[in-house]
Chains A and B, each alone.
Chain A
């Protein structure tokens, strides 16, 4: 369609034009907004082209492994494990997983013949601290959250607020939740061991049933935790040792029923003369000896 000459303005055109495009005869918009619109993204495949020229192409490989959560696809590269996903989410189709992982990371993803060293043992023991992870692309905050979460022992749980406090960001409780929701390597970095601050099991990126399955497989007594949470109990102590813990702490599970004392707040426990457990650190442990 050509511009209709009869529609041309007959009077002198104004100094500014609509940002959608100048009419014939109008002046060009000059200003920060118009200049900002000249910013463009690099063409698709730009980073790949650079990496090709440098001979630096990172390839991810992946294996299928068994776990309490069913079969998992685990992707990894030279930096470490980069993704963990239940195979069921991809209809057990490795090709679909590889394609989606490649689309997400921009790295070619191919099947590997051998799993990274220590993976099978980590899945068996629930302790995955010795593995290397490729967490590039995450913010330092997200990495700090995941690093702290990795320290939660198998069979125990900690509240979101605990993670926030331990990484020195006590008010970032919600941000901890979001960071865990973006955990690229669930099951291995055990975000399923982080629960609501009131003690209830809470949500999970891979679904609440999966969270329960994983915790159950680690020997967590979910019914007991939910019961305590329902009664408003946040901490349990032993009247023989005078120590109080989060309910799932391995020390707490050893307290005999006759000696178990319940607290709603850490302050109440401390007021009753109890000190915080050094293993589960229900409150900041001042004396780190």
Chain B
């Protein structure tokens, strides 16, 4: 309910004045878009770029929408569809230029496993889970990320991915099932010694902006 209400305010702002309301729109959805980009690409630099590009494209599209269409917008599925398309395009380009790909996992699949930067700031358990997530196929990883990391409803996932709701549910369930199976096969690696240094629980400064 709360998210819905915030969305309405933000969309009203966009409909009233796109330029003035866009910053609030970016702030409202940057977490969802960035998290999706990070968990799909696995690299913070790549995620930053993908997420920024998502909003730049969104702005271009919104300029062509009339106020009514903006107000009726389902922001998150709409934005995340853009993120997904951008990500897939990049994978395709990367596959065509193999030199940019560090190590191809299969014959045709480019490496989409999370890179070292993404892992650097995770807790140990998260890092292990990120590694498992990277082993899922795209058609399971995307719905799992959208459902459990970003918190989309199945209807929203279906709309984002462009599949029936039942398929979205099934793919999420199978994805989680597969993650569990992978976890059973892979004992968590001993954490590297450097990660054992304790970071302060409450950072004194540098509060993260929403």
Which residues, 177 to 196 on B, are CB-close (under 8 Å) to A? 179-180, 182-184, 186-191, 193, 196
Q: Is the CB of A28 within 8 A of B35?
A: no
Asked if A54 lies at the interface with its beta carbon under 8 angstroms from chain B, I say: yes
Query: Shortest distance in angstroms between B45's beta carbon and chain A's nearest beta carbon?
Result: 10
A138 near B: Cβ within 8 Å?
A: yes
Q: Are B9 and A140 in contact (CB under 8 A)?
A: yes
Contact partner, A139, options B6, B27, B34, B145, Cβ 8 Å: B6
**Cβ-closest chain A residue relative to B54:** A50
Contact call A53/B56, Cβ cutoff below 8 A: yes
Expressed in whole angstroms, the minimum distance between the Cβ of A24 and any Cβ of chain B is 4
Is A34 an interface position by the 8 A CB rule?
A: yes
Does A19 interact with chain B (Cβ within 8 Å)?
yes
List the A residue with the shortest CB-CB distance to B208: A41
Partner of B21, one of A25, A136, A138: A136
CB contact between A79 and one of B20, B26, B189 (< 8 Å): that residue: B20
Q: Is A285 an interface residue (CB 8 A)?
A: no
A51 contacts the other chain (CB 8 A)? yes
Candidate in B51, B52, B150 with the most chain A CB atoms within 10 angstroms: B52
How close is A106's CB to chain B, nearest CB, in angstroms? 7
Interface string of A38-61 (1 = CB under 8 A from B): 111111111101110110101000
Q: Are A28 and B209 in contact (CB under 8 A)?
A: no
Choose among A36, A54, A56, A138 the residue that contacts B149 (Cβ–Cβ < 8 A).
A36
Q: Does B138 contact A (CB under 8 A)?
A: no
Check A47/B26 contact, CB under 8 A, given A28-B183, A30-B179, A139-B6.
yes
Contacts of A45 in B (CB 8 A): 209
Which range contains the number of A residues in contact with the other chain? 35 or more
Q: Does A1 contact B (CB under 8 A)?
A: yes
Instruction: Tell me the complex Cα distance, A45–B59, Å.
Output: 18
State the Cβ distance, A262 to closest chain B Cβ, in Å. Answer: 41
Cβ-defined contact, B129 with A39, below 8 A: no
Task: Using known A-B contacts A17-B125, A42-B34, A46-B51, determine if residue A137 contacts B24 with beta carbons closer than 8 Å.
Answer: yes
Please state if A34 and B151 are interface contacts (CB–CB under 8 Å).
no
Query: How far, in angstroms, from A32 to B150 measured CA to CA in the complex?
Result: 11
In the assembled complex, the Cα of A138 lies from the Cα of B128 at a distance in Å of 40
Q: Cβ of B55: which chain A residues have Cβ within 8 Å of it?
A: 50
Chain A residues proximal to chain B, CB less than 8 Å: 1-3, 13, 15, 17, 19-32, 34-47, 49-51, 53-54, 56, 58, 77-79, 106-107, 134, 136-141, 143
Contacts A30-B183, A38-B145, A51-B22 known; list 11 others, CB within 8 Å. Answer: A17-B125, A22-B125, A27-B187, A28-B188, A29-B125, A38-B130, A44-B209, A47-B23, A47-B30, A56-B22, A134-B20
B: which residues have CB within 8 A of A? 5-6, 8-9, 12-13, 17, 19-24, 26-27, 30-31, 33-35, 38-39, 44, 48, 51-52, 55-56, 59, 122-126, 128-130, 132-133, 144-145, 148-151, 176, 179-180, 182-184, 186-191, 193, 196, 206, 208-210
Question: What are 20 A-to-B residue pairs whose CB atoms are below 8 Å?
Answer: A2-B196, A15-B184, A21-B124, A22-B125, A22-B188, A24-B190, A25-B190, A29-B125, A29-B183, A37-B125, A38-B145, A41-B210, A42-B30, A42-B34, A46-B52, A51-B23, A136-B9, A136-B20, A140-B5, A143-B9
